[in-house]
Amino acid sequence: MASTGSKFELRRIDEKHYQLDVRGLVCPYPQLLVTRTLGNLSSDDVLEVILDNPPSVRDIPPALEQKGYKVNVSSLGSSTWKMSVRTEV
């Protein structure tokens, strides 16, 4: 799988499961990277995004849900979140 072109590279966790760590980025960059990455994955892949930007946590899920993705967000601590994204079935 190709990288996103920066230090924020897509990492394969296992078959059909990928992780993108965008900590340190602020809007609109996390959303742009997530959208670009999802465009390169298969419809049954799961993308796990690690982020630390509260506006991104608020804004990315509804934008992805409008495009047909199912998004689940969980807290990993006081200022870090994990967003799991998959195609809605």
Q: Is the model's pTM score more than 0.85?
A: yes
pLDDT in tens, 13-67: 999 999 999 999 998 999 999 999 999 998 889 999 999 999 999 999 999 999 9
For residue 61, being part of any structural domain is answered with yes
CATH number, domain of 41, equals 3.30.110.40
For residue 5, being part of any structural domain is answered with no
Helix or strand holding residue 26 (H, E): none
For residue 32, being part of any structural domain is answered with yes
- Can you tell me the distance from the alpha carbon of 47 to that of 68, in angstroms, rounded to the nearest whole number? 14
Which two tokens mark 14?
């296992």
Counted domains in the chain: 1
What domain range is 68 assigned to? 10-87
For residue 27, being part of any structural domain is answered with yes
For residue 4, being part of any structural domain is answered with no
